[in-house]
Amino acid sequence: MANNVIELSGVGKSYRGRPALQSVDFALRSGHICGLVGENGAGKSTLIGIIMGLIRPTEGAMALFGERDARGIQRQRRRIGYMPDANALYPYMSARQNLELRCLEWGIDCSRSEVEGILEEVGLSAAGRKKVRAFSLGMKRRLSVAVALLGRPDLLVLDEPTNGLDPSGIVEVRRLLVGLNREHGTTILVSSHVLSELREMASEYCFLSHGKVLERISSQELERRCGRRLVVCTDDAASALRLLSVSFPGIEVAQAAAAGEVHVYGDLDRASEMVGCLVGGGVAVSRFHVEEGSLEGYYMGLIGAGVRR
Ligand SMILES: Nc1ncnc2c1ncn2[C@@H]1O[C@H](COP(=O)(O)OP(=O)(O)OP(=O)(O)O)[C@@H](O)[C@H]1O
């Protein structure tokens, strides 16, 4: 697809025979912010390392900005700004000096006013001569984003930029990234092991667990699935799904990760009618209740289902 900035198909990586990533299919469309979510050790950094050419995959194919051969992929990597999970900054220099030195190191032709513009954008223009070692963690993270912005990349790849930040720091990074996406159309791949940290920032999510992609989902769909729902416990989930979807066309019914649970979304004013329909149709219902879904609850359910696969 022409407007995919990243395409991975069947990508895998093993370390001494132990798989860290398995058969990963992934695509990121231009203009989107994709949240790559997974527990510690899920394979997020490995996936990012493969995209950045820092880790050689054991199998699979990749395309960057539509280029598939090794040379083309390497050429396209110049269009990517990368922020690794550890702050790679020079502690005894100011924010401005850090950016200027990076430009020299990487051969990026960035004028003084462009450097100033980037500092302004990440909210560090007032940091003046203050050395990075005296920066707060939030300031260091913003400076790391600034480093990734040198050369005005079309794609930003950020490995856990909110890790360890307090709630206001998380909001700052979120505002910064959403602003870059809206104002410059920058496509962003951002990883985190905490789903809620990416809320209101990501337009889509890729859930990774134990080296496998569990689900790709848009933010709207995720928010909908985390809304109110009817939970029905039954030992005949297949019949319950069939009966409910035929009798209540406006709803969405899904088999939950937990065995014997069916989740119903939409039209919940008719919840008792739905349960009556199941019982009347010969489906045994042991329990039912209406609950408010939560983002983390959804994620834990997904990971639970993934582990059982
Ligand atoms: N150089 C390496 N040698 C051996 N095993 C490795 C190496 N790098 C990563 N792994 C293993 O690969 C798996 C995935 O690691 P990875 O760092 O990609 O996960 P992650 O999702 O980024 O985790 P975290 O959130 O903790 O950073 C883990 O089991 C890890 O121990």
Q: Mean pLDDT throughout 80-102?
A: 90
Largest CA distance in the chain: 75
C-alpha 295/C-alpha 114 separation (Å) is 39
What pLDDT is attached to residue 297?
A: 77
Say what the pLDDT of residue 227 is.
79
Cβ–ligand 1 distance for 46 under 6 Å, the answer yes
Q: What separation, in Å, do the N-terminal and C-terminal C-alpha atoms of the chain show? A: 30
Are 42 and 208 contacting, i.e. CB atoms less than 8 angstroms apart?
A: yes
Cβ-based neighbours of 63, under 8 Å, separated by 6 or more? 4, 6, 7, 73
Residue 274: burial class (beta carbons within 10 Å; 0-12, 13-18, 19+): buried
Least confident segment among 6-20, 186-200, 253-267, 272-286: 253-267
State the Cα–Cα distance between residues 135 and 152, nearest whole angstrom.
24
Q: Which two tokens stand for residue 11?
A: 């990508």
pLDDT on residue 197: 85
Estimate the crossing angle of helix 95-106 against helix 112-121, to 10 degrees: 130
Interface predicted TM-score (ipTM) of this complex, two decimals: 0.95
Domains by residue range for the chain, with CATH: 4-89+150-222 (3.40.50.300), 228-292 (3.30.70)
Determine the Cα–Cα distance for residues 239 and 44; give it in Å rounded to an integer.
38
- Checking DSSP bridges between strand 187-192 and strand 155-158, what pairing results, if any? parallel
- The token duo for 168 is 């206001």
Is ligand 1 within 6 A of the CB of residue 12? no
Write the DSSP symbol of residue 210: T
Nearest CA to ligand 1 atom 26: 40
Check whether 304 has a pLDDT greater than 80: no
Over residues 66-83, the pLDDT tens digits come to: 999 999 999 999 999 998
pLDDT at residue 152 greater than cutoff 70: yes
Q: Residue 276: CB partners within 8 Å, gap ≥ 6?
A: none
Residue with tokens 């050369």: 151
Instruction: Give bridge partners of residue 231 from the DSSP assignment.
Output: 263, 289
15 lines ligand 1 (CB under 6 A): yes
Q: Which of 183, 197, 166 is nearest to 120 (CA)?
A: 183
| Beta-sheet strand order (sheet of 59-64) | 18-29, 4-15, 59-64
Q: Could you report the per-residue pLDDT of 203-251, keeping only the tens digit for each?
A: 999 999 999 999 899 988 888 778 788 999 999 999 999 999 999 988 8
Protein residue whose Cα sits closest to atom 23 of ligand 1: 41
Interval 277-301 mean pLDDT: 87
Rounded to the nearest integer, the mean pLDDT of the chain is 89
pLDDT of 288 higher than 50:
yes
Q: What is the pairing mode between strands 59-64 and 4-15?
A: antiparallel
The first and second tokens of residue 243, run together, are: 């009966």
Q: What is the pLDDT of residue 307?
A: 42
Residue 210: CB within 6 Å of ligand 1? no
Paired with 158 in beta bridges are: 83, 190
Strands 228-234 and 261-265: antiparallel
- Report the predicted TM-score, pTM, of the whole model to 2 decimal places: 0.82
Note the pLDDT of residue 257: 63
Ligand 1 centroid from CA 7, angstroms: 21
Model confidence over 174-189: pLDDT tens digits?
Answer: 988 999 999 989 999 9
The half-sphere exposure of 214 on its side-chain side, counting CA atoms within 13 A, is 26
Residue 308 confidence (pLDDT): 38
> Is the confidence at residue 164, as pLDDT, over 60?
yes
